[in-house]
Amino acid sequence: MQTHFAYPNVLPREQRFVGCGRYRVMNPKDGHPENYYSVEETPNTPNRMVLEHAMQTLGPESYAAAKTIYERRDLPSQKYQGDSLDLAYLLAHIHRGRNLKNKLSGDIWCTGVVQTSDGKPILRKVDPTGFELKLDAFLASENEDDIFIVPAANINTKIKDHASFKGVACYTLGQFANLNAKNQTTQSDKLIIKVLPNELPNLMESLFLSKSIKNHKKKWLLSLSIIILIVSLFWIFIVTPKTAISEDEIRSLIFNGEFDEAKNKLAQADGNQLWAVQISAALNEKLDADVHLIFRRNDNSLVHQTDSESTGDLILTHRDYYRIKINLSKTEYPLYLYLFQFDTMGNLDRLFPSRLWETSNPVNQTTTALFVPSDPKDWLYLSELDRGTKGLIREQVILILSPWPAVDLETLYEKFQLAADNGHRRLILESFLERLNVREKATALSMAVKRIIFWHGK
């Protein structure tokens, strides 16, 4: 029986497991069994572009493979979606070009969110509530599948004890790799494999056979390899133009905040292509913005303005009002502006673009001064703090400006708004701040990130 990469699907609000979506790799020429359908494009998860970047990084050879990915669902009537299927699809994609090291009796369950850090694919944990439902389904006696690959961050003492009570061990990826290399089995029928964020490349090597050919005649192959290497280097640097990097790959990196990685990739592309010239010019266009906080106390009409981003020890209460003033630099490129506000209580709001005030991107550059809210009669204000709240709450207004949309931040914000519980929202906020940090570290001139910090008091 051929192995599937299965992603368990749950309905957290209903506390219910609704079966697995199962990816199987097959050759289209051979046809496919009933109830399977081909997956022509990367699933539309919130991390779609990041997932495609991971596929290009970890499994580029799979794009040329004859095999394709098919899916069947345990319950076809259910809507299977979400970023927790990222890992299963990534492994199925790798499987198109590489065979598994061992034939398994059942399917491989997978859950995990694929993101990037400093341009490298990483594995992030999934919603804890949903994860417990998935784990219970995996541990159930009626489930005949033996392996569940999960983010290590989802495994805590409670989870380990629960699995141990069911007779199932939690193995690190290194422990599993040793078992796999020796073709050994565990003492239990089932096994949970914990994968650290930076271990995605190691996971590929543990599960799949090497991409290289078998070495039967080592000396002959070594000599041949040296000759091929010399010819290849000559061909790459002297004969072949730099065309391996595509425009879509570069734009995918930029849309997800990986500006420095995009610059590195762009250096490997054919610089004479029109799209490469245009993107390079935009990346080197210096952008800047001055951000000011305008506020007034209570019903007092006197308006104050801070100097640039500096607010000192400014404290605002729910009785005060404030607006944001932004001075934009002039440029020939479209400008995408984002204003987010978050605090130490875990709240996150988007001030621009805004459906409430009917503002959108790219911004209108007919004026260099932009106000949020735009109508001078509209003001922002803070909620009244509970009596039990002690001390001050740190508020931050963050500006992101570039010639491109921030797809990853837009996606994470939408997920934050739809999150069912505080735990899930905290995870999304962590991811949001991580993606923001990547942008702040970028050396590209066309990326500007500014922060206004003040305090929320009673």
Neighbours of 293 (CB within 10 A): 23
Per-residue pLDDT band for 40 (boundaries 50, 70, 90) equals confident
Contact 84, 112 (CB under 8 A): yes
pLDDT digits (tens, 9 = 90+) for 136-170: 999 998 998 999 999 999 999 889 988 988 889 89
CA dist., res. 387 & res. 384, Å (int): 9
- pLDDT at position 213: 38
**Which residues have a Cβ under 8 Å from the Cβ of 380 and sit 6 or more positions away?**
321, 322, 323, 324, 351, 372, 373
- pLDDT at position 217: 44
CA dist., res. 193 & res. 206, Å (int): 11
Average pLDDT over residues 177-184: 67
Residue the block writes with tokens 């368990």: 8
3-state per-residue secondary structure call for 364-419: CCCCCEEEECCCCCCCECCCCCCCCCCCCEEEEEEEEEECCCCHHHHHHHHHHHHC
In order, the DSSP letters of 188-234 are SS-EEEEE-TT-HHHHHHHHB--SSPP-SSHHHHHHHHHHHHHHHHH
383-392 long-range Cβ contacts below 8 angstroms, 24+ apart: 383/318, 384/318, 385/318, 385/456, 385/457, 385/458, 389/458, 392/315, 392/455, 392/456, 392/457
Paired tokens of 308: 């640039």
54 dihedral zone (left: phi>0; alpha: psi -120 to 50; beta) = alpha
- pLDDT at position 215: 41
Helix (DSSP H) and strand (DSSP E) numbers for the chain: 12, 19
Average pLDDT over residues 193-206: 93
- pLDDT at position 212: 44
- pLDDT at position 22: 95
- pLDDT at position 137: 94
Paired tokens of 228: 């091929």
pLDDT digits (tens, 9 = 90+) for 319-375: 999 999 999 888 888 899 999 999 988 899 999 999 888 899 998 777 778 999 988
- DSSP β-bridge partners for residue 148: 109, 192
pLDDT digits (tens, 9 = 90+) for 221-231: 556 666 666 66
Average pLDDT over residues 46-60: 85
Contact 168, 191 (CB under 8 A): yes
- The Cα-based distances of 422 to 128, 358, 416 in angstroms read 11, 28, 10
Domain with residues 5-207, CATH architecture: 2-Layer Sandwich (3.30)
CA dist., res. 53 & res. 407, Å (int): 14
Q: What percent of the chain has pLDDT over 70?
A: 89
- pLDDT at position 233: 61
Higher pLDDT, 389 or 251: 251
- pLDDT at position 309: 66
Per-residue pLDDT band for 209 (boundaries 50, 70, 90) equals confident
In order, the DSSP letters of 314-352 are -EE-TT-EEEEEEEEPP-SS--EEEEEEEETTS-EEEEE
The pTM for the full model equals 0.56
- pLDDT at position 222: 56
Asked if residue 237 has pLDDT above 80, the reply is no
In terms of Cα–Cα distance, which of 41, 56, 46 is closest to 268? 56
Q: What is the mean pLDDT of the chain?
A: 85
Pairing of strands 5-11, 16-26: antiparallel
Asked if residue 4 has pLDDT above 90, the reply is yes
- pLDDT at position 188: 56
Higher pLDDT, 214 or 236: 236
Asked if residue 220 has pLDDT above 70, the reply is no
- The Cα-based distances of 75 to 10, 17, 80, 399 in angstroms read 12, 11, 9, 44
Return the beta strands (E) in 85-179 as ranges. Answer: 108-110, 113-117, 120-124, 147-151, 169-172
Higher pLDDT, 178 or 457: 457
Average pLDDT over residues 273-278: 89
Measured at the CA of 310, the angle between CA 309 and CA 313, to 5 degrees, comes to 135
CA dist., res. 366 & res. 375, Å (int): 17
Phi then psi for residue 245, to 5 deg, are -90, 130
CA trace torsion 268, 273, 274, 279 (10° rounding): 0
Per-residue pLDDT band for 386 (boundaries 50, 70, 90) equals confident
- pLDDT at position 52: 85
CA dist., res. 201 & res. 302, Å (int): 59
- pLDDT at position 425: 85
Could you tell me the residue ranges of all domains in the chain? 5-207, 213-242, 244-284, 289-456
Average pLDDT over residues 208-228: 58
Paired tokens of 433: 């701040």
pLDDT digits (tens, 9 = 90+) for 408-453: 999 999 989 888 788 888 888 988 998 998 899 888 899 999 999 9
Per-residue pLDDT band for 105 (boundaries 50, 70, 90) equals low
